[in-house]
Structure 1
Amino acid sequence: MSASSSSTPPSFLSRCLTAVTQWIDSDYCPEGAEKMRNEPDKVDWVRVMPFVILHLGCFGILWVGVSAFAAWAAVFLYFIRMFAVTGIYHRYFSHKTYSTSRIGQFILALWGGTTVQRGGLWWAYHHRHHHQHSDDEEDAHSPHVHGFLWSHIGWITSRRNFPTDYSKVKDLAKFPELVWLNRFDLVVPILYAASMFGIGALLERYAPGLGTNGWQMLVWGFFVSTTALFHGTACINSMAHLMGKRRFKTDDDSRNSFILAIITLGEGWHNNHHRYQSCTRNGFYWWEIDPTYYGLKFLSWTGFIWGLKAVPQSILDEGQRAEHAASIAAAQKAAHVHPEYSALKRVLPAAAAIAVATVNTANIQVVEKIHASHHKDVTELAHELQQNQPPAQQAQSQPQSPQNPPVV
């Protein structure tokens, strides 16, 4: 058999071996990371098997059942780790919107690792790349370029998106402990899953009244909670560029969504974020709920983090002007679509003139006549009011001559 005819099977086996090795060592790229990043988009089923297993593990609820404690633990762990995604991976590693110590940074990286969304440097690299190429051909997860499903989940299964480009995160890559956690990004998730099982086993023994056990806590606290966490995070890649309101005119199609802000603890104010990425808060105004910012503010009071970056006043003013212009445009559109608004605009000044004209009269019949004649113009209504006044008040109410106009 010639070398050319036998080259295909070894290539396939080699790719499978590479994928399996990358389960343990994410930086393992025998063909070179740059070559892998230049490959066309294609799902690597062997490489993404841990991701597939994560989703399949949710069906474990059919065997382990559910308890109130396990279900609420899953909800709690969803939000505490969503904070790690938004407040750590996003607002610290990706944008450095606040500062901490080197030890604090390592603790944050460990916390972020429990989200099972790869290492902090990989996450930051892809997010910075997203901002640089948002909604253009180079954006790995733009729903406008690649479609909804690919932007939501498909892009993370492609071989070209596996390697970390450390040249894009030099500020983080200078810390070997962060590089180690990023390279061996399966270590923290395994420890986290084991801790869920261990906590459940301890509760089964020492708090049997809670009705839970090791396997149940593993399924609910790890598989169910983590899968929901992934899809909650992925909504920003997909839905935050499709649904919501655009306050700022950015070069992409980022949008603000209250619903997504609740699901992701404040990340739903995506258009705000794309307008100004360097501030700690995504909800620029007090009425825009941003739980991640509230949590970071609390951590700043403890001294664990510091230097939270505020939204510049110029950006706030720009947003308020945009809102004002949008309100005027909406009113003009409504007046065009609903002509009855124009009639209302004629009635209101007439009503004001009527109120002034009736200050000196106590005749309740006038009110009924006004109600019956609301469609008449101001001059005719004022004349009728004058006829309903006593003679003495009519004399006082006579219109003044043009030579002596009333002073307003």
Structure 2
Amino acid sequence: MLNRVRQWIDSWSGPIPVQTISSESKQIQWLRIIPFIILHLACLGIFYVGVSGFAVIFMLLFYLIRMFSITAFFHRYLSHKTFQTSRIVQFVFVLIGTMSAQRGPLWWAAHHRYHHRFTDTEHDPHSSTYGFWYSHLGWFLNDYNFATRKEVVKDWLKYPELVWLDRFSLIIVLLTAVSIYALGEWLAIVYPSLATSGLQLLVWGFVVSTVLLIHATLCINSLAHLYGSRDFETEDQSRNNLFLSIITLGEGWHNNHHYYAGSVRQGFYWWQIDITYYVLRMMSWLGLVWGLKPIPTRVYEVSKIAQSANKVNILIKTKADKSSTGESS
């Protein structure tokens, strides 16, 4: 038990090597679920602290900036390298992403790379074949998926700041919570017209915002492999889902992503909303990121949307030819 608690503080402190863990270790470790339960129960604090417009706005903004950091930097940058950036920008947004309470950045990227390598098979960390609850929650609450798969993210181990964030991600989360509480207390004194307080901002701005953020992200592992359309034939069960795309700033175009993960853009068509991509484009205009990898033309050619359009065009052309032949005769 003491060893598990120590691993909460430093996730690299003696975790069991992944190669030596049996499949039985995919069972949920209930001690590990305690902080997760406490975080959810803390949401009930909204009935004690009340609500203010400022607290709700802060909750939404903190949700959005952290979601962007997860989708753009944990996912499209660390996991797939679909764009480039400076070391400073890399650190700032990875730090913000670490505030999301979704473990460390290298742990996140390593498991996601492993997910793509073995999607919906027994080796997939959150395979949908194990059912909704395992792919949504159970997978990160066991020994099998606790350790950072360092061999999968060797390219990022050269950055000591990223390694530190990965090891001590819980400390970052706790410091974030304390800072938000302190901000609320300061605002209550300096700007009482905002009608907020330390506890109120902690509950709304950190607890509620973080719980929503965690579940929105996890829905891509679970619901995006169950509900939605499939524009591409893939060997997994990935789906495109508009609702999930909205709440995750573009990650819901999951079938697109699993067909071609090498593009910075996941909404392959103009009507597929991808806010993360739009923001990255604006950041590229400012020189903060560059080398955004596009979608190859060949990808569009094999999509069901393109195939359906071709069938319609052929049908129209055939009817036009028949009409023309009939008229000339």
TM-score normalised according to structure 2 size: 0.91
Alignment of 1:182-201 (within 5 A): 182-201=166-185
Deviation track 1:108-139 (CA, whole Å, cap 9, x = no partner) reads 22111111111110000110111111111111
Q: For residues 234-383 of structure 1, what are the structure 2 equivalents within 5 Å?
A: 234-319=218-303, 320-324=305-309
* Cα separation, 1, equivalents of 2:27 and 2:265: 36
* Partner Cα separation in structure 2 for residue 157 and residue 326 of structure 1: 48
Alpha-carbon spacing, 1:407–1:163, altered in 2? closer, same or farther (3 Å): closer
- In the TM superposition, residue 37 of structure 1 has moved relative to its aligned partner by 6.8
* 1:288 alignment partner AA: Q
**Cα 1:205–1:82 shift into 2, 3 Å:** same
Alignment match, 2:4: 19
Q: Which has the higher contact order (CA 8 A, sep 6+)?
A: 2
Deviation at 1:325, TM superposition (A): 6.7
- The alignment's C-alpha RMSD in Å is 2.3
Gap regions ≥5 residues in structure 2: none
The verdict on how the C-alpha distance between 1:31 and 1:146 changes in structure 2, with shifts beyond 3 A counting, is closer
In the alignment, is the contact (CA less than 8 A) between 2:7 and 2:15 conserved in 1? no
User: TM-score, normalization: structure 1?
Assistant: 0.74
Q: Is the 8 A contact 1:37 1:163 kept in 2?
A: no
Note if contact 2:102-2:214 (Cα within 8 Å) is conserved in structure 1.
yes
1:170 aligned residue: 154
| Counterpart Cα distance in 1 of 2:16 and 2:134 | 25
Alignment partners' CA distance in 2, 1:51 and 1:19: 15
- Deviation, 1:103, is 2.3
Q: Is 1:139 matched with 2:119?
A: no
Distance in 1 separating the partners of 2:11 and 2:327: 85
Alignment of 1:113-132 (within 5 A): 113-132=98-117
Q: 1:35 aligns with which of 4, 9, 20?
A: 20
In structure 2, the CA distance between the partners of 1:326 and 1:164, relative to structure 1 (3 Å rule), is farther
How far the C-alpha of 1:176 sits from its partner, in A, is 1.6
Say which one has the larger Rg: 1
Structure 1: gaps of 5 or more residues: 1-15, 332-348, 354-404
1:203 CA drift (Å): 1.3
Q: Provide closer, same or farther for how the CA distance between residues 193 and 314 of structure 1 changes in structure 2, counting only shifts above 3 A.
A: same
Provide the secondary structure at the position in 1 that maps to 2:81: coil
Deviation at 1:407, TM superposition (A): 5.2
State which drifts further: 37-46 or 313-322: 37-46
Identity %: 49
CA distance in 1, matches of 2:162, 2:261: 23
Q: For residues 193 and 37 of structure 1, do their structure 2 counterparts lie closer, same or farther at Cα, with a shift above 3 Å needed?
A: farther
1:175-194 Cα deviation digits (max 9, x unpaired): 12111110111121112111
Once the two structures are TM-superposed, the CA of residue 99 in structure 1 deviates from its matched residue by 0.4
Q: Report what 1:389 is aligned to.
A: none
> What residue identity is the alignment partner of 1:137?
E
**Given residue 206 of structure 2, which amino acid in structure 1 is its aligned partner?**
F
Aligned-pair CA distance for 1:71? 1.6
Q: Which residue identity is paired with 2:179?
A: S
Shift, 1:74, TM fit: 1.1
**For residue 163 of structure 2, what is the aligned residue in structure 1?**
179
